[in-house]
Amino acid sequence: MTRVSRFFLTLVLFTTASAQGQVISDAGMAELDRYLQEAVANSRIPGLVAMVTNADGIIYQGAYGKSRVAENQAMTLDSIFNLASMTKPITSLAVMMLVEQGRVDLDEPVETYLPYLANRQVFTSVNLDTGEYESRPASRKMTVRHLLTHTSGLGYAFDSPELARLMGSDFGASATSLPLLHEPGSQWTYGEGTRVLGQLVETVSGTGLYDFLRKNILSPLVMTDTFYKVPTIKKFRVVSPHRSNGTALVEDALPDGDIASAENGDGGLYGDADDYSRFIRLFLNGGVNDIGERLLGRDLLRSMGTDHTAPIRVRTMPQTNPLLSLPFPLGAGEDSYGLGFQVTAVQHENRRAPGSMAWAGIFNTEFWIDPANNIGAVLLMQYLPFYDDEAIEVLQGFEERIYANLQGGPRNR
């Protein structure tokens, strides 16, 4: 489908949404415009794209600031971002498709599909000064469910002092050759479990991960601007990343050649806000796409947004490199985790409802899905560190203004 066709489809869906679903008042849209424009102007955030959708289509969209500061290139609604860990929910959906087909069992040990993960060890001590450690055999096996819920014991170097000491600063390095940080199922630790799930998808399906995602998710949802390798004709739309040098943000020049990432399940996809809104609508519509084709059964889809970790709660992950990430996530101590999503547990004023599903990417890309209110939202930025105070302030301000200005009511789905 061409961009022109997509524009007219969005226009039709917007009209339908206004008539049937939850919408934002005219005053609310003006307030969102004003807030986001001022937020970029008065902060160090180079630029952002924001969209809100209900089950029928986009009900708010805005682009502010610059996509490439050095080139004075304005941010546009179709700007393409490195989505980083917003790849994880898409990979998680792929796993659930294999579950529905009977080819994957959530409670089967992962080693059944990936034998190299057999005979796991668990750290008993790590000397952060010398890097020496001791371990013992794990008392339980790591399952597919553990990977989906981040309770497997796998971590990342950027949020684990132990792994940072042992793995160094290579963000792409894998912790699977090291002992687990804890027993599978005993604690929530954000880590590379979804990377392993990407390998599982490839092994079980017999195809490359991107090929599976494209055939089963991206193409049916008309997510034509989501890929691991950006097509040459679309490179001009890619947003340049910024990172902190400790005092200011510095722009990283995009490569002259290919803009691409490794095809990992836990990160690497590039995409725009409209595409991710289509992914969100799949959940608001109970597993069917914009033209009514079913991609996943309603019950399985709903199960992705239910609590699979009780009594374990999401916990605050520490920082090991403050230029890369600050402690995260919001909702720690309250929220649970579903199959690929953080699940909201508590209602706060002018915020998403309990049962909402969310996650983020390390370059401060964020989204949430709120089935109770029939809306979802995407807020895309492209700079480090993750969970920078200004990025979180804008995320919360964006969310509060959406919910303060909703009109109409959700439909029963």
Cα separations in angstroms, 256 against 72, 82, 165, 199, 276: 18, 16, 34, 30, 26
The model's pTM: 0.94
Q: Kindly state the tokens that stand for 298.
A: 């309603």
Q: What is the DSSP letter of 19?
A: H
* pLDDT for residue 172: 79
Query: Is the Cβ–Cβ distance between 334 and 316 less than 8 Å?
Result: no
Tell me what pLDDT residue 408 has: 80
Whole-angstrom distance, CA of residue 378 vs CA of residue 367: 4
Angle between helices 273-284 and 88-100 (to 10 degrees): 40
Q: Look at residue 140 and give its three-state secondary structure.
A: coil
Residue 374 CA: distances (Å) to CA of 272, 398, 403, 409:
21, 17, 12, 8
Contact between residue 363 and residue 241 where contact means Cβ atoms under 8 Å apart: yes
Q: What is the pLDDT of residue 409?
A: 59
Domains in the chain, please, with CATH?
3-98+203-407 (3.40.710.10)
Per-residue HEC secondary structure of 296-358 comes to: CCHHHHHHCCCCCCCCCCCCCECCCCCCCECCECCCCCCCEECCCCEECCCCCCCCCCCCCEE
**Crossing angle, helix 26-41 and helix 389-404, to 10 degrees?**
170
pLDDT score recorded for residue 116: 97
pLDDT by position in tens, the chain (length 413): 333 333 333 443 443 433 346 899 999 999 999 999 999 999 999 999 999 999 999 999 999 999 999 999 999 999 999 999 999 999 999 999 999 999 999 999 999 999 999 999 999 999 999 999 999 999 999 999 999 999 999 999 999 999 999 998 777 789 999 999 999 999 999 999 999 999 999 999 999 999 999 999 999 999 999 999 999 999 999 999 999 999 999 999 999 999 999 999 999 999 999 999 999 999 999 999 999 999 999 999 999 999 999 999 999 999 999 999 999 999 999 999 999 999 999 999 999 999 999 999 999 999 999 999 999 999 999 999 999 999 999 999 999 999 999 998 554 33
